[in-house]
Amino acid sequence: MSKPTMILSTTLLAISCAISGCDSDSNSATAPTVESDGDLSSHVVATKVFTNGEVYTVNPEQPWAQAVALKGNKIIFVGNNQGVKTYLGKSTHIIDLKGKMMMPGFHDVHMHPLESASAATQFTIPAYASEGEYIDAIYTASVQNPDAQWLIGYGHEITSLLEMESAPLSVINEAVADRPVIIMEQTSHSMWVNGKALQLAGINVNSQDPIGGVYGRDVSGKLDGILYDNAGNQVMELAMKSLSNAQQQDHSGLIEYTMPELNKAGITSISDARTYWQRGHLETWQQVEKDDKLTLRVSLGLWAYPEMNDERQISTLKSLYQNDPQSLLKVDQVKFYMDGILVNTTAAMHEPYDTNWLDLYQNKGLNYFTQSRLEKYIKALETTGFDFNIHGIGDRGIHEALNAIERASKGDARHRITHLEVVNPEDYTRFEKLNVIADAQVAGEFTDPNHWPDTIPLIGSERAQDLVPIKNLQSAGATLTLSSDWSVSTFNPFVGLSNAISRAPQNITLAQAIEAYTINSAYAMRQEQVVGSIEVGKLADLVVLDRNLFEQNASEIKNTKVEMTLLDGEVVYQR
């Protein structure tokens, strides 16, 4: 596949030849009268012009175009090949799209870019392995990292630990006993730790479960080495504080891997859905901005620590708010967890789980934040300008989040509930009524309807239907966004688009899925007036694809490649 051709025009005649053979039927914007570069005395001269394209604008007033003109970082024309000639001058760069598709840059409003690509994680273990294989892998990591105060790993599935014949604690202790070890499970909702880690964290058989967390125990009540939800988060916080160069590793990971790969996927805006401000995550992002290295528009979702005193936390969050309209970096969201996840039986449910695994209160999951406590934060932080990104997976957690917003919000906020795995049908219409954004992730194969039966042992067949009900929410009028939750799922938006249109009976149209990844997500980031669609006056966050998505089936969409990505009118990726 050839790259789009860049042509530096030398004469108006040559420019006209470069865009010959085009028709004049498409809508076109009127050229504003401003200073010229000498040849076109009455009209603005574009710095970049894209021609011969299939431009999908995500603008219902003008869905398709052939050509787009930019002046610096702004779009000054959207229309046909003939109309764009008005904007050409000696200094104009013409990009011949050769029939390729252009669309607005993708937004991913729920991902974990620092955690997912940080070199702070020293080793990875298999999702599933035998006890001996796990012991060998963890021991090898210890040998390879002789100076690490804590060994920090990632990779297993929770079921691989629960199916062990031996206690997970004894297995990990056999691998390494003299240094603390913590290994994050793939969903990040549990940690596998050894005895030394428990000792340093002050956790023993008599310890009470923390807010939003559970200390895993065997049938006799002894600790089994698994820390669920916030119990694991707290120990990971301790481990991360032992790293003297964590911020530098996070900084390098963003610049060298994460942002280039996101741009390569056509992503121009993201929300960091869990900015651990006590770990230095905020300072890392601010340093990247200071270094003028940002190639994305970024909204940070400051983590709300369940165990922290409310008054202290609210005061601190207010002091961290940052919303400079001239900056690519905003600190304008807060990330709350209402509950855990289904597979751990920690997602908050109206009715008990069908299996009693962790012996939680009434076997209905847990709360990181209660409804009344969330109401308190809404009242305190909305006036500062914060929007909330609220993790809700179980029907009770989602219901309580909606209740809190209904009771405490002033109505002009743009709060969103993310994940939305088990939603009570009675709550579908409340999203539109309360102006709550429904944020879902469908890029992971585990969200495919073929995997719904996997949850039947936990919640029964009736509740295991219509998981992540994006079609029902869309039909009920909710503002739907699609995101990745990377690294839980791939950030490749074409996988998300493909799955969104094919996961019957909870599938949506391609146009709806694209809106969810562009203009709707721009709305969630409070930037729909400047990006999210291709319209005159908006900023030029654009992507060029190797195919027209509307001419592909679902499996073909997954194979789409990005030819070019522009942020603010500048090329940040070219194939």
Q: Where are the domains of the chain?
A: 5-104+565-574, 108-112+244-530, 121-241
Q: Note the CATH architecture for domain 108-112+244-530.
A: Alpha-Beta Barrel (3.20)
Residue 559, pLDDT above cutoff 60: yes
pLDDT of residue 169: 98
pLDDT of residue 119: 64
d(CA 305, CA 368): 9
Bridge-based pairing state of the strands 267-275 and 213-217 = unpaired
What rounded mean pLDDT belongs to the chain?
A: 92
- The CB density around residue 407, as the number of other CB atoms within 10 Å, is 13
Matching CATH number, 5-104+565-574, of 2.30.40.10, 2.40.30.40, 2.160.10.10, 3.50.50.60: 2.30.40.10
Residue 256, pLDDT above cutoff 80: yes
Q: Note the CATH architecture for domain 121-241.
A: Roll (3.10)
Query: Per-residue pLDDT tens for 3-50?
Result: 333 333 333 333 444 444 433 333 333 333 333 333 333 479 999 999
The rounded percent of the chain whose pLDDT value lies above 70 is 92
Buried b (16+ CB within 10 A) or exposed e, 41-52: eebbbbbbbbbb
d(CA 4, CA 97): 6
Strands (E), 310-386: 329-337
| The one-letter amino acid at 189 | H
104, 130, 222 from 163: Cα distances, Å: 46, 10, 17
Residue 149, pLDDT above cutoff 70: yes
Q: Are 534 and 526 in contact (CB under 8 A)?
A: no
Average pLDDT over residues 462-485: 98
Task: Name the residue with tokens 């500062």.
Answer: 384
Report pTM: 0.91
What three-state secondary structure class fits 294?
Answer: coil
Query: Per-residue pLDDT tens for 309-357?
Result: 999 999 999 999 999 999 999 999 999 999 999 999 999 999 999 999 8
Burial class (CB in 10 A: 0-12, 13-18, 19+), 239: buried
- The CB density around residue 144, as the number of other CB atoms within 10 Å, is 11
What three-state secondary structure class fits 304?
Answer: coil
Buried b (16+ CB within 10 A) or exposed e, 436-464: bbbbbbbbbebbebeebeebeebbeeebb
Average pLDDT over residues 209-220: 95
pLDDT-derived band at 171, boundaries 50, 70, 90? very high
First-to-last alpha carbon distance for the chain, in angstroms, is 9
497 membership: H or E segment, kind and range: helix 493-502
d(CA 369, CA 371): 7
Residue 208, pLDDT above cutoff 70: yes
